[in-house]
Amino acid sequence: MLKAQRKRTDYTRWFRDVTLMAEVYDYRVLVKGCGVWPGYGFKLRNNVLNIIKSLLDATGHEECLFPLLIPQSLLAKEGEHIRSFEKEVFWVTKGGETELEEKLALRPTSETVIMPMFKLWIQSHTDLPKKVYQVVSVFRYETKATHPMIRVREVTMFKEAHTAHATYEDAERQVKEAIEIYRKFFDELSIPYVISKRPVWDKFAGAVYTISFDTLMPEGRTLQIGTVHNLGQNFSKPFEVEFLKPDGSRDYVYTTSYGVSERVIAALISIHGDDHGLLLPPKVAPIQVVIVPIPYKGKEREVYEASRKLYETLKEVGVRVKLDDRDDVTPGEKFYFWELKGVPVRVEIGPKDLEGGTVTLSRRDTLERTRHPVEELEVKVKELFKEIERSLSERSWREFREHLIYVNTLEEAKELVAKQEGIIHVAWCGSDDCGLKLESEVQGRVLGTPLDEKVEGKCVVCGENASYYVRLAKTY
């Protein structure tokens, strides 16, 4: 069973075991770098996606669907973009036995297939802003060792949004809106994060700048879980996406794009899970409550009947509830099974409960058990949902903040990054030279600079006046 793999001491194994055994993600590879979502995992995936979709829908984004195949000539239109993606694109070169006249790329991201449509759809300033998104697979030819959900060849849950605007200022406003949307999204999932402006050498290929959300995984490496790009007119010019301004002149639109992927689910599992298995926030748990009857001699029928009633009660009020009435599995085995699956609340009904008109509730996060009158079931379950979510959020942010570390010297930064102690902050003058030197000295990555935290100090590399903190960490 799971017992052997501990999250803190053998995180990679723990992640593989838990996702496989809880039937969230199956990485016994059919094709290298491509995972499978079994039913339980797919429900979790949909519940997570529904949160981001409703946030996007509520802010005027329209869900669309663009083609998977991108002709080489389109992918190559923005020079910087193609140079960055060239080496990691999968190409389709044949149709049946016929060599294609033009190679087709499996989309690595969709800017270059959305721009030509924007050109057709946008004529006038009254067509702006235009905000679309899609949830699709994207493909990257990863050559480094693959990691389930984190470093994959088929990213199956890529939610990419693309917007077009009449002015640079409006695109800037959109970047802020996207950051707020992602903030709310990660807050709903109790996933802690820092928001950084990526250094110029690490921005998205073709972007003016990139803002990213990074979280911290149990082994002390950061994981990029969301990015927001201001693309300026870098794509609209080569793709000739023009519009008519109110004064009769013409200009190219300003665009942005922003994305999240199944890395969000990898973070959700890794941050909240424990040595018993998954621990899912009630908001997204495919099963929020499991009812386990504790039958005893002569009273089997009564216990099952009472369990069935509890099931109906909860189902009626919209709780995602499961009655585990298998009679060939002991209650103890059922407890382990549903704990592994991360079901937030367990309801037990046994002899004492039957006599006293009570139910026993057990919460997955603390494994604490309490007994309540059966009439209070619905109220108590809903209270527990809130309480579990509050406590998950509090715990994950507390642990995260303990690993945001500020140091004054390059030596200290080097040591802490090597030990994977978390996200290390040092003062930086902002020059590329010093930034790249930092990156190679600490053998980690420059995540970028905080959006709102200024510093008065000296750059730890060159000693000049520093106006920024810069964040350093080991990454995936």
Interface contacts to Zn ion, rule CB under 5 A:
429, 434, 459, 461-462
Q: Are strands 289-293 and 345-349 parallel, antiparallel or unpaired?
A: parallel
175/460 with CB nearer Zn ion: 460
Q: In sequence order, what are the beta bridge partners of 91? A: 105
If the CB atoms of residues 192 and 435 are measured against Zn ion, the closer one turns out to be 435
DSSP H helix total and E strand total for the chain: 13, 24
Tokens 């994977």 sit at which residue?
420
Q: Max CA-CA distance within the chain?
A: 86
> Coil, helix or strand for 27?
strand
| C-alpha span between 9 and 19 (Å, rounded) | 17
Burial track 132-160 (b if 16+ CB lie within 10 A, e otherwise): bbbbbebbbebeeebbbbbebbbbbbbbb
What are the phi and psi torsion angles at 350 (to 5°)?
-125, -165
At closest approach, how far in Å is the CB of 180 from Zn ion?
32
Q: Are 31 and 150 in contact (CB under 8 A)?
A: no
Q: How far is the CB of 470 from Zn ion (least distance, A)?
A: 10
CB of 462 to Zn ion, least distance (A): 3
**Cβ proximity to Zn ion, 20 vs 462, nearer residue:** 462
Q: Which of 77, 198 has the CB closer to Zn ion?
A: 198
Judged by CB, which is closer to Zn ion: 429, or 447?
A: 429
- Cβ nearer to Zn ion, comparing 68 with 410: 410
* Cα 392 to Cα 398: distance, rounded to the nearest angstrom: 10
Minimum CB distance to Zn ion, residue 458 (Å): 8
Give the Cα separation of 381 and 395 in Å (integer). 21
Which amino acid is present at 240? E
| Bridge partners (DSSP) listed for residue 322 | 290
Residue with Cβ nearer Zn ion (23 or 202): 202
Least distance in angstroms from the C-beta of 423 to Zn ion? 20
- Smallest gap from Cβ 418 to Zn ion, in A, equals 21
DSSP label of 199? P
Nearer to Zn ion, 239 or 469 (CB): 469
Q: How far is the CB of 20 from Zn ion (least distance, A)?
A: 46
For residue 402, the minimal CB distance to Zn ion (Å) is 28
